[in-house]
């Protein structure tokens, strides 16, 4: 079967579809063309099947199609050029909790993701944004983000006029970003109070400074990430700077997802994908040591925990030819309290033994 079509208006041959050609060469929309040439196919059969299978639609001048992400059917956009659309990362590992977050974003549920630091919470939101081509605006709500940054503030412009500059929240609401609020367990209570308005389904934001009522764009999404569930830190690891969140505030989030460390097999896959030159056996042993240390942390024998982020940093140094002890010192040991150093060092020695003495990036 031919993969090209001939334009009845000018005789030009086009591959797969006439739509682009009609628009650019004849300034004609497909509907007007179909009314004039009811017998002429607009697309070849496979292209039609693809369009139907992926439910390709054009709205607001952008193509939308259905995409399978980790088993969840999501609506993606095509050809969006926006500086806030993240870059896709083919090494990202999709786990079960990722599906719950994807579903929440697709169906406009407010989602709260909690779990230890470095377990991929922020990366997940960015990857969903990358694959569906949605702009992602990330803001850390640690104590330093003020209400003025978040909601907006008055300033004097070049013409010496006093104007109100909208902050991150109204911008994200109006422009339809995924707003990712990091460290919500450390936010100022005033910020939590403001957020309450937009946690409601279709919740508007009232800018008290100007009286403006801001309705959310249909693409606006809200995601929070935190290390604790807001009941204070169970482990004590995140105690400083985290507040106990108000229960009624927490109750307004539609979905709460817990993300934990990757299962060993997937963590090894990730380290291999990012640091392909490292020996697989070495990576297996590193992940085994990290697993034991995480267990020790859960059993309260260790105050800190070795995250995937730490392992990636360690592997990056090993890949550059650093010896193991030096890399472990700067990537892990120098970050932990003195009482943890010995246990961590011994655990890595136990699992890596003589391997750690060799130059690993062979």
The answer to whether residue 122 forms part of the interface with Mg ion (CB under 5 A) is yes
Binding segment for ligand ADP (CB under 6 A), chosen from 60-68, 153-161, 169-177, 308-316, is 308-316
**Does the protein bind ligand ADP through residue 272 (CB under 6 A)?**
no
Smallest gap from residue 99 Cβ to ligand ADP (A): 12
Question: How far apart are alpha carbons 209 and 137 in whole angstroms?
Answer: 23
Stretch that binds Mg ion, among 122-130, 169-177, 187-195, 337-345 (CB under 5 A): 122-130
Q: Is 298 helix (H, G, I), strand (E, B) or coil?
A: helix
Min. distance of Cβ 186 from Mg ion in angstroms?
Answer: 12
The contacts of residue 276 (CB under 8 Å, 6+ apart) are none
92 binds, among Mg ion, ligand ADP, none (CB under 5 to 8 A by kind): ligand ADP
Task: In angstroms, give the least distance from the CB of 182 to ligand ADP.
Answer: 7
CA distance 286 to 347: 10
Burial bucket for residue 53 (CB in 10 Å: 0-12, 13-18, 19+): exposed
Binder of ligand ADP out of 28, 117, 235, 329 (CB under 6 A): 117
What's the full length of the chain, in residues?
Answer: 362
| Of residues 6, 72, 8, 75, the one with CA closest to residue 44 | 6
Q: Which does 270 bind (CB under 5 to 8 A by kind): ligand ADP, Mg ion, none?
A: ligand ADP
* 91 counts as binding ligand ADP under rule CB under 6 A: yes
**Tell me, what DSSP letter sits at residue 210?**
T
Q: Does 270 bind ligand ADP (CB under 6 A)?
A: yes
d(CA 356, CA 277): 16
* DSSP SS3 for 300: coil
93 binds ligand ADP (CB under 6 A): yes
The mark string for 206-225 relative to ligand ADP (x by CB under 6 A, - otherwise) is -------------------x
Task: Determine if 95 is a binding residue for Mg ion (CB under 5 A).
Answer: no
Instruction: For residue 121, state whether it binds ligand ADP (rule: CB under 6 A).
Output: yes
Number of residues that bind Mg ion (CB under 5 A): 2
Q: Based on the shown chain and the rule CB under 6 A, indicate whether residue 86 belongs to the binding site for ligand ADP.
A: no
DSSP per residue, 68-104: EETTEEEEEEES---TTSPPP-TTPPP-HHHHHHHHH
CA distance 85 to 183: 21
177 and 166 Cβ atoms separated by less than 8 Å: no
Helix crossing, 324-331 with 338-352: angle to 10°? 150
Complex with Mg ion: residue 141 or 198, whichever CB lies closer: 141
Partner whose footprint covers residue 123, from Mg ion, ligand ADP, none (CB < 5 to 8 Å by kind): ligand ADP
Least Cβ distance, residue 309 to Mg ion (angstroms): 9
Give residue 230's Cα distance to chain centre: 21
The residue ranges that bind ligand ADP (CB under 6 A) are 91-93, 117-123, 225, 262, 270, 308-309, 312
């Amino acid at each position: 079967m031919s993969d090209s079509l001939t334009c009845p208006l000018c005789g030009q041959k086009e591959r797969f579809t006439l739509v682009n050609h009609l628009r650019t060469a004849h300034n004609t929309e497909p509907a007007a063309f179909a009314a004039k040439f009811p017998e002429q196919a607009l697309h070849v059969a496979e292209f039609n099947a693809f369009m139907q299978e992926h439910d390709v639609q054009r709205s607001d001048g952008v193509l939308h199609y259905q995409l399978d992400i980790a088993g969840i059917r999501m609506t993606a956009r095509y050809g969006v050029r926006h500086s806030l659309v993240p870059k896709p990362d083919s090494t990202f590992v999709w786990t079960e909790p990722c599906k719950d977050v994807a579903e929440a974003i697709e169906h406009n549920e407010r989602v709260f993701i909690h779990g230890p630091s470095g377990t991929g919470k922020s990366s997940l939101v960015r990857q969903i944004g990358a694959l569906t081509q949605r702009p992602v605006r990330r803001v850390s709500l640690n104590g330093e983000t003020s209400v003025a940054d978040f909601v907006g503030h008055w300033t004097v412009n070049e013409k010496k006029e006093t104007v109100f500059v909208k902050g991150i929240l109204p911008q994200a609401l109006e422009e339809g970003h995924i707003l990712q609020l990091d460290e919500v367990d450390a936010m100022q209570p005033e910020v939590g109070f403001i957020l309450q308005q937009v946690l409601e389904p279709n919740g508007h934001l009232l800018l008290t400074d100007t009286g403006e009522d801001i309705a959310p764009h249909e693409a606006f999404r809200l995601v929070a990430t935190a290390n604790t569930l807001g009941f204070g830190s169970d482990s004590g690891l995140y105690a400083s700077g985290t507040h106990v969140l108000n229960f009624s505030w927490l109750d307004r989030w539609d979905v709460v997802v817990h993300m934990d460390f990757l299962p060993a097999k997937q963590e090894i896959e990730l380290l291999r994908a990012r640091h392909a030159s490292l020996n697989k056996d070495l990576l297996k042993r590193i992940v085994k040591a990290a697993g034991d240390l995480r267990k020790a942390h859960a059993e309260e024998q260790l105050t800190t925990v070795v995250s995937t982020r730490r392992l990636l940093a360690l592997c990056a140094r090993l890949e550059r030819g650093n010896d193991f002890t030096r890399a472990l010192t700067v990537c892990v040991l120098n970050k932990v309290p003195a009482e943890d150093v010995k246990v961590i060092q011994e655990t890595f020695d136990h699992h890596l033994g003589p391997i750690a003495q060799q130059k690993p990036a062979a």
